[in-house]
């Protein structure tokens, strides 16, 4: 009997989403007798029953396309803005699932999507997820699709900025994405030969960074490249965040928890332009002209790399196999050259951070890169 499968892309867009959709779809059609419908704009489309029929014609030619043909959003099933009110749309999602007689729904997304997927699993839906994000911070998988392409883009940016840094004898600060995890900043910094790399997992002091740059100047090196993840923090800022998190975790009442959450949100709002302040401060402390480049969403766009196309296709086809076998409630994780179903309970609510003793960190230190600590 033919299986009816729903599929959606959720969270931020990234390279490889279309390749993964294609992998699930083509394997599902050609080998496992599946009928597949897409839901537009993530969980919102599932809640509002906004569908897109998936067929071979739609999937033709999308392997190399960036973005997602289904559209995406950051809407959460249990906290969705409908009109001017936030509503729990879980029941509406269950209704949509049943109306289309779905056997399962496939959710392509990052950490937030894994949490949302497990909520749908708890509501009685058969769910399978695929791990995508340029941040590479999803637990349980060797790597997420989207990361390799973003790493190439960020590394090329660092490469290109070297020429203006050397020509004008400047400090060039390059901000890359990575709010909580520093995989992208660390990888691009090492591959691009950055002199300083600052990531969220290793709090820094501005004096240490300035001293490393002045030491380079004393040795006749009149420029420096500083790669900074957007979530990088000074030691004082990291201490403040830790205290606020502890305050939130130890809150005894709903009001206390709300207050702590508001303080934490305010900190992150004010932290948005920290690389600008870092750049200005480095110029003051070193006496070297400093300039800031923020890569932003440039890292998420464009044609996926060969590695991301291969990974997304591999995980997409593995997903179709699991659906055919009736394996649900899992994320399809990359493990070496193969894949593995990982229970959503082992993934949701966790973040894969850069360990302080990770080989990339060790390599950076051994080639003389300053990590600010």
pLDDT, tens only, 142-164? 999 999 999 999 999 999 998 88
CATH architecture for segment(s) 148-233+271-300+355-366: 3-Layer(aba) Sandwich (3.40)
Predicted local distance difference test score (pLDDT) of residue 1: 67
Say what the pLDDT of residue 265 is: 83
Which segment, 167-171, 200-204, 217-221, is predicted with the most confidence on average?
Answer: 200-204
The mean pLDDT of the chain is: 93
How far from chain centre, in Å, is Cα 186? 14
3-state secondary structure 15-47: CCHHHHHHHHHHHHHHHHCEEEEEECCCHHHHH
What share of the chain in percent tops pLDDT 70?
A: 100
For the chain, how many residues are written?
373
Whether residue 43 has pLDDT greater than 80? yes
266 pLDDT more than 80: yes
The whole-angstrom separation of Cα 270 and Cα 132 is 28
The per-residue pLDDT for 235 is 93
Q: Higher model confidence: residue 363 or residue 222?
A: 363
Which residues does 239 contact at the CB level (< 8 Å), separation at least 6? none
The C-alpha angle 267, 269, 275, rounded to 5 degrees, equals 95
Q: What is the pLDDT of residues 115-135, one digit of tens each?
A: 999 999 999 999 999 999 999
pLDDT in the model for residue 273: 87
Q: Please tell me the distance from the alpha carbon of residue 199 to that of residue 179, in angstroms, as a whole number.
A: 9
Q: Is the pLDDT of residue 260 over 90?
A: no
**Distant-in-sequence, close-in-space partners of 241: CB < 8 Å, separation ≥ 6:** 233, 264, 267
Question: Is 13 assigned a catalytic role?
Answer: no
Q: Which of 103, 135, 148, 308 is catalytic?
A: 135
Q: What pLDDT, in 10s, does the model give residues 297-352? A: 888 888 999 999 999 999 999 999 999 999 999 999 999 999 999 999 999 999 99
Residue 57 has a CB neighbour count (10 Å cut-off) of 8
pTM of the model: 0.93
Domain ranges of the chain: 3-145+304-336, 148-233+271-300+355-366
* Average pLDDT of the segment spanning 266-282: 89
Mean pLDDT of 64-87: 90
Q: How far apart are CA 200 and CA 272, in angstroms?
A: 13
User: Which CATH fold would you assign to the domain 3-145+304-336?
Assistant: Rossmann fold (3.40.50)
Q: Which among 34, 12, 246, 243 has a CA at the least distance from the CA of 146?
A: 12
Tell me which residue has tokens 């209704």: 95
Give all strands (DSSP E) within 46-90, no chain letters. Answer: 51-54, 80-82, 85-87
What is the per-residue DSSP string for 107-169? EEESHHHHHHHHHHHHTT--EEEEEB-TT---TTSS--BTHHHHHHHHHHHHHHHHHHHHHHT
């Amino acid at each position: 009997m033919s299986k009816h499968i729903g599929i959606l892309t959720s969270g931020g867009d990234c390279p490889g989403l279309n390749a993964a959709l294609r992998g699930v779809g083509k394997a599902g059609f050609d080998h496992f007798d599946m009928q597949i419908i897409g839901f537009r704009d993530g969980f919102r489309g599932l809640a509002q029953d906004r569908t897109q029929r998936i067929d071979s014609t739609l999937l033709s030619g999308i392997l190399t396309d960036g973005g997602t043909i289904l559209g995406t959003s950051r809407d959460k099933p249990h906290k969705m803005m409908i009109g001017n009110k936030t509503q729990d749309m879980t029941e509406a999602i269950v209704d949509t699932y049943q109306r289309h007689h779905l056997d399962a729904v496939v959710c392509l997304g990052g950490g937030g999507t894994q949490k949302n997927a497990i909520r749908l699993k708890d509501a009685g839906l058969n769910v399978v997820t695929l791990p995508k994000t340029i941040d590479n911070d999803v637990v349980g998988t060797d790597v997420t699709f989207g990361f390799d392409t973003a790493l190439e883009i960020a590394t090329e940016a660092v490469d290109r900025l070297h020429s203006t840094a050397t020509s004008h004898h400047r400090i060039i600060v390059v901000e890359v994405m990575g709010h909580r995890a520093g995989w992208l900043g660390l990888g691009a910094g090492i591959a691009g030969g950055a002199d300083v790399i600052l990531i969220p997992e290793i709090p820094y002091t501005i004096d240490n960074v300035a001293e490393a740059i002045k030491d380079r100047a004393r040795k006749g090196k009149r420029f420096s490249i500083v790669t900074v993840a957007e979530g990088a923090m000074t030691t004082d800022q990291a201490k403040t965040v830790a205290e606020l998190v502890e305050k939130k975790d130890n809150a005894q009442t709903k009001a206390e928890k709300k207050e702590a959450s508001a303080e934490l949100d305010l900190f992150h709002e004010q932290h948005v332009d920290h690389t600008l302040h870092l750049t200005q401060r480095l110029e003051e402390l070193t006496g070297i002209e400093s300039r800031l480049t923020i890569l932003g969403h440039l890292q998420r766009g464009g044609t996926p790399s060969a590695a991301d196309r291969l990974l997304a296709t591999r995980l997409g086809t593995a997903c179709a196999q699991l659906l055919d076998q009736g394996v649900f409630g899992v994320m399809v994780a990359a493990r070496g050259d193969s894949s593995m179903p990982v229970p959503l309970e082992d993934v949701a609510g966790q973040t894969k951070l850069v360990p302080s003793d990770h080989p990339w960190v060790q390599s950076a230190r051994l080639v003389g890169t300053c990590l600010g600590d």
